[in-house]
Structures are given as C-alpha cells and as structure tokens.
Structure 1
C-alpha cells in the first residue's frame, strides 16, 4: 500500500479542484482545496499538508512566485505544479523553484496520482533503496490528456456531487462503463453498490425480470423470489448499458420508476421503493430510434439530463501512446511478460483508425505482451499485426522503395533454411519478391482510396513518380477508377 498524506489542491477552476480532490480522497488521502494564493497561505499554516498541488495562474498572483519560500519554510513539503502555460519557461521556473513535479494541463489523473505516490514514498522511505509500487487503484480507470477527454473529465466533475441522470454516448469499445464507474466511485454513493446490466445481452422476455425481479411462481421456472438489478443497486448506481436495445414495454416500466421511484416485481402486487442513480449508455442514435417508434421520446428526455459524449479513439489519437503503455502495464500486473513500447511503434499505433476503439487497443497490447519475443515492441512487430487497410496512408512515412528495403531486411534477419543456415542471396531475393507481392498491392490500393483515385497525389504520398505508379498498377492489375473511397 502506498503511504497516505495530507494534500492541498490550489486551482481557481472549481471543477479541477473537485475532481482532483475526490480522486485523492478516494485513494485515502486527506484533502483541502482553495482557489487563491491568500487561501493557500492560510491553509499551509492550519492544514500543514505533505503535498501542495498548485496552479500557476491564480486570481491574486503567480502561484510559482512563493514556492521557493514555501519549501524553505516547510522542507518536508513536496510541491507539484499544474499549468496551462505549457512553455519551456514555466517548466524551467518550476524546476528552479524546487518543485517535485511539473504537469502541463491538460493533465492525466493517473499521472497526477503517480506523482503524489512518488512524493509520499520519497518522504516516508525508511530503508534506502526500498521501492513500493503505487496502488493500482489510486488513479481513475480513465486515461487520456487530449482536449476531448479533458471535456469528459470536466463534465464528470460537475455531476459527481449530485444525482442527475446521465446518458453516456459513444461508439462500442470507447469505455462508456468506465465513465459510469468513475462517476459512481467519485460520488457520494461510492460506498453503495454499482450494478451494470447490458440490455443487448439479455433475451427480451427476461429483461423485466432482470431489472425488477420476480416473485415465486411468476412464470415457469420461477422457484423463488429473486431481486432485480434495481433492488441490488439500492442506494448506489444502476448502469443501463445499450439502452437503445431495451424493448418498448420495459421502457414504459423504466419511465415509471424514473418518475416515481417505485416499481412492482414481475408477478408481484406490492410497490417497491428504491433510491438509485441511473446512468444509461448507448452507441445508437436515439433520436433516430424515436422517429422509427423504437424508443420512447419521453424516456429519452428523462435519461438525457446530462449527456456525456465519449470520443472515438481515432478522434483522440494523441492519447493512443499513453493508453498503449497503460495497457502494457496492466498486462504485466496480470502476470504477462512486461514489455516496453518503442517510439516508432507508438507513432504507428497513433496512425491506426481503431474501429474497435479502446477495447481493441487493450486487446492488441495483451496480444503483443504474449507474442512479442523482444522486451521492446517495435513498429515492425506492430505492422505485422495491424491491418494495413486501417492505417492512414498519409502517415505511412515509407515510399514503395523503402518498403522493398524493409521487406528485404526482414527476410535477411528472420528467415533461415535447412538446419538453421541463413538464406543464400538468391533464395532471399525470391522470398523478398514473394513477400512484396503481398504487401505492396495493399499499400497501393489503400493510398489510392485515400486520395479518391488521384494518381498524382498517390505518387506524392508514396514517394515515387507517376510513371512508376502506373507501371505498378498495371503489374498488379489494379484499376485506379475502382479505387475510390466510395467503391
């Protein structure tokens, strides 16, 4: 277990104070917050924190100006600087003032949590060289520093102190349940149950029984009274995933519960009163379902009190390397071999379109943890697994001639014949051409599709002249007219 401490968070953005403060309290720390330098000075005396987390730009001055004096007066305190002024000068000033860590905004809560753990470990380390890993539950399950994710964090910060109904919108695999868990775990209901149910995974005839429970003898096979998800979530949060797949008759009963807080179980007569927070999620277009009479309009408005739009992974590509390394760490914590991610591999991952979103990235990192023989995952290894059709051609960074060279190098380094003897030059050339005949047409096709069949643009992207491109298209029997986005 990581040591716990007293932490003072100073930021004039109340949403940041709220979400950072609640995340740290959830990890067992004692936390105070303030929004000005004057309040900070008072709390430094009365609260005596182990860690000061402070913004630079505050309403009554520069938060960095007095940091050196604070550290001189309180040598045991660690100062973590947060700043939206992401300049080299700010980072240098923070270092010169003696700050323990500098995190540019937008920052990732897990990264801040690690910095807090490191600072407390440094203070509480009794044996030289002793290393203690940070609690894996110290941070939130959400990872990302992109502007899109920062907006998600801000919305979460605004809703954790109330019980408003939330509708989480986003494609499959974007982490909608993680958002629901974060809202629950940071809110006042965190000591009560978090219950999730996926509407798409339950037969339609059983959904009402799953939600509202049933009495003994209510239907064939009902041998005893069974509590439904609403009763199981009493006092806590009920997460209704894939709400767009809920049958109309169940929608009617759900609307009644939202309006009155009461329901009757299947086969029951007595009303059951519940106190639960509802968070729903869907990857479907609910207004479109309403127009098709497949979803109740009044239920939609009851659920859509506070919408949270979770971006697709391709819409926050800057977060991909951070997420990939996070999932590699999780895989290692689960007993898989620990792997590092090379910078060129991280860049390639950022160029992939990720149709399966964050879930697909996590699965890939788990697979690479097992299949990659080296400790460091290279771009070459990633390229062997990712389908070329999902990588944006403008990001290939390789001409066809460079691709030829890469294939030849791969053949030389990875293939042997007989009892382990390296391939002879002639054999290598034959295999090189065979491999290239598989890879090169894919590259040509996807590049042409990306530019709507424009051969001039395609040749520029590939780093070859137009005549060479035409010859290759002829050699592979490819028709540019058929290689357009719509074809």
Structure 2
C-alpha cells in the first residue's frame, strides 16, 4: 500500500530512531540494511516511499538507484548520507530523489518531508539518469550551513528560475553561480559573469544590452551585450546592489518582457539565458531608501541562496585549508601538509575576508613555510604579521573606520529614518554625517582646531564656520572624546 515505507539503513541506531518516529505517525516501515535486502523487499510488495542511505554494506545506494527508479517510477525516494558534499547532493538530485538529507538531520523535518513525499502524486520532475556531475567543483565543506546551500543548489538545477545569491564578500558567490551553471540544464552554453560595480554607470546599459554603431560618441561599431553573449547559457550579474537606478529599470523591463533592445537600436531580441544575481549588500533597507527597486528585487530573488560567512562554518576551515594546500601544490608551490594543531589554530581565526582571505593565506603559507608539515608554530608568526599589517593600514577607531559596506548600511539607515525630501538628500546626509565627523576629529586632536582641520584636510576657517553652523561648542568636542 502507498503508506508503506522501505527504510534501507545499515546503522541500526539511526534505523531504530527513524522507524519509531514514522510509526508514531501511523506509518508502516519495513527495514533492511543492504542493497540485496532492498531488492528482495521491493520484489515482495509495493512501497510508496523508500528512504535509503548511500554507503551500504554491499554497495552505493545512489549508484544502484537508476534501475529501481525505472522499475518503480511512482515510488518516492529520500536519500540519507553522511557523505555530505555537493557531489553527493547533486547525485541524489540527478536520481530524481524527492529530498536529500545529510547526516545528522533534524528528525522532525525528516518526518514532515516523508509526509510531503507521500502526499505528492509524482516527484519525478528531475531526470532519472544518475549522472555524476559534481566532481571537481570548488565548493568545499560539510558543515550544516553548507549542507543547506547544497540542498538549495540541487533544487534549481533542472529549471531556469532566477537565483539571487546573498553573502559577505569572499564567501564564494560566483563559485555557487558557476556550480548552478555547470550542473544545470544550460551547462553546454556559456557562463558570462559581469561585475556591475566595476562598469562606469554611463556604460552599464551598453555593456549589458549592447549598442548599435553611432548610438553615442565613440560607438564606432555594433557591440553585442552580455545578455546576447550569454545566449543558451547563464548570465551572472555580480554586485547587483551597486547597479544605478536607471539601469535597474531597464533590467527589470528586460526580465519582465523577456526581450532586450540594444542602445540606439530598434530591433527587439528575445532573451535566452538564465539569470543569476549576487550582492554583498542588504537590499531590504536599500528598497526602503529608494536606492534599489522593490519590483526588481522580487524578480531576482525567485530563489534566494544565502551563503554563510566562514566564521559560521568553522568546521569547514580544515577541509578548505587542505583543499587550498593541494591547489597551491598543483599550481607549482611546494607541497605542504597541515598538522592537527595547525588546523585547529586556523579554525579559531575570524577570517573577516571569509574563504577568499583563507585561500590567500594558505597560498602564502605554502610559499613561506620552511617545513613540509605546517603546524601552529609556523602559522602563528604569519598570522601575527598579517594582523599587524591590517592594523597598520587601518585608520584610528571612529567614523572613518567604517568599511564601504558599513558606510552604505549606515547611510541606508539614515535615509529610512530621516526620509529627506526629493532634492535635499545631499544637504541632509551631509549634515547628519558632518557633525559626528567633526566631533571625532576634535576629540582625536584634544580640541585643537588647527590640527583637526589638518586631519580633515580642510581650511581652519572652514572648520570654524562649520562648527558654528552645526552648533558644536568646545565642550561638545571634548565630551566627544
């Protein structure tokens, strides 16, 4: 009967827990611990759902699934695995599995998913062929946070839904976009990446949509834009939060209509590419501030994937470090091994630059280490040197110490609270940020206006006038210290 479930699990403790949870829901569960036992039970009666481990005593549960899927096309499959890599997640997805659960898993979530699988008429929206496409992808990590990312990736491989990848700088947003492209339906087409923040605002529309000869001064020939270059493939729009509003409007129109027009042209060209966007900025306050279009946000964020910072996946630091050491050796640097103590030290670091910072550090370590086995004694001096260099390059604590992204967040917050009238943004923002800036400069110089003006890079008389205009008294400056 449809509610009968087959559990294929060679870990008896896990099998007992799952069986008890499902039977408490009124479901009947048959258990076995091998592929041979699975095939025997499948031949004896129909099942609505099979839960199967990957590494079983007599073989790989995924590799042997295609004939089972062919013989029982309406039976749902949920895959359980301790081999928690993107490769495993993709292999599970390619079998047409209803869901993939990395171990350890949340038992309540598993029970809910079993109910959903049994209630689904047909979960075979993915191909039956088990094709191992995950090998060689540069996504490393088995932490719970990365498992959530892998599961989201597998959900978008067999469709063209627009994906918005969110995360701090250095978390690997472009790598995720490349993985979706390489594993998805459009892998035979081109992957075109565009950093929208690096394109001058006046050229961004021409870069994206192309232009006709004579469209503007300097347009001496027709140029094919990134949308057309990505035909039959994937267009990756990085740093989408930095796109100017006018270009956002044209991008929205293109996504809504499915057509573009080159700058200076009249011909409409049908889009034939998947769109993946990414940003390290928080778009919600930008929407409230009017600097990012809400309708464009919802067009892009059909499937949002949020990448965790490295500090929230410290369990992955060792695997990443060993991966980068191997990469460094492959690129001609000395071959190094990482000791347990060295791995533990690396896992304790904050890695504010995330995976990108770790990668650069490991390559530097591979170059400078004296011994083949790298331990904590070798790593500590290099970390100390890096930290000292960072401190030397940073301004003293205060308003000027904010990173560009932090300043943008502060400005967004100001815009939400102040809501300046149209045309008054410059004066309103200048007044809001100028006062704490002057107070900070005076506090740093002990109230000495000449030194404060020199610190700010302005004329002393200008400083005096602005202090009067802003109502800053000497005691305010000293108190700000």
Shift of 1:83: 5.0
Shift of 1:82: 8.2
**SS, match of residue 386 in structure 1:** helix
| Map of 1:184 onto structure 2 | 181
Which of 71, 85, 94 matches 1:108? Answer: 85
**SS, match of residue 193 in structure 2:** strand
Does structure 2 retain, via aligned residues, the 8 Å contact 1:212–1:230? yes
Shift of 1:243: 0.2
| Map of 1:173 onto structure 2 | 170
Deviations 1:91-117 (A, max 9, x none): 9xx6xx466899962612458999xxx
Distance in 2 (CA, whole Å) between partners of 1:383 and 1:67 is 52
Distance in 1 (CA, whole Å) between partners of 2:258 and 2:305 is 24
**SS, match of residue 235 in structure 1:** coil
| Map of 1:52 onto structure 2 | none
**SS, match of residue 228 in structure 2:** helix
Note closer, same or farther for the CA distance 1:207–1:139 as it changes in structure 2 (3 Å cut). same
**SS, match of residue 203 in structure 2:** helix
Which of 205, 208, 221 matches 1:224? Answer: 221
Shift of 1:246: 0.3
Shift of 1:139: 3.2
Write the mapping of 1:415-430 to structure 2, written as runs, cut at 5 A. none
Distance in 1 (CA, whole Å) between partners of 2:288 and 2:89 is 45
| Map of 2:319 onto structure 1 | 322
Gaps of 5+ in 1: 1-34, 41-54, 71-80, 85-90, 115-134, 392-486
Shift of 1:324: 0.6
Distance in 2 (CA, whole Å) between partners of 1:359 and 1:211 is 27
Distance in 2 (CA, whole Å) between partners of 1:199 and 1:206 is 10
Distance in 2 (CA, whole Å) between partners of 1:250 and 1:275 is 20
Residue 262 (structure 2) pairs with residue 273 (structure 1): no
Does structure 2 retain, via aligned residues, the 8 Å contact 1:263–1:272? yes
Shift of 1:356: 0.4
| Map of 2:106 onto structure 1 | none
| Map of 2:198 onto structure 1 | 201
Deviations 1:126-176 (A, max 9, x none): xxxxxxxxx998232211101111011111111111111111100000000
Shift of 1:331: 1.2
Write the mapping of 1:17-416 to structure 2, written as runs, cut at 5 A. 61-65=30-34, 97=57, 105=82, 107-109=84-86, 138-387=135-384
Write the mapping of 1:417-456 to structure 2, written as runs, cut at 5 A. none
Deviations 1:380-399 (A, max 9, x none): 111112249979xxxxxxxx
Distance in 1 (CA, whole Å) between partners of 2:163 and 2:58 is 42
Distance in 2 (CA, whole Å) between partners of 1:137 and 1:155 is 15
Superposition RMSD in Å: 3.5
Note closer, same or farther for the CA distance 1:320–1:390 as it changes in structure 2 (3 Å cut). farther
TM-score (norm 2): 0.57
Distance in 1 (CA, whole Å) between partners of 2:61 and 2:298 is 44
Does structure 2 retain, via aligned residues, the 8 Å contact 1:108–1:145? yes
Distance in 1 (CA, whole Å) between partners of 2:84 and 2:253 is 41
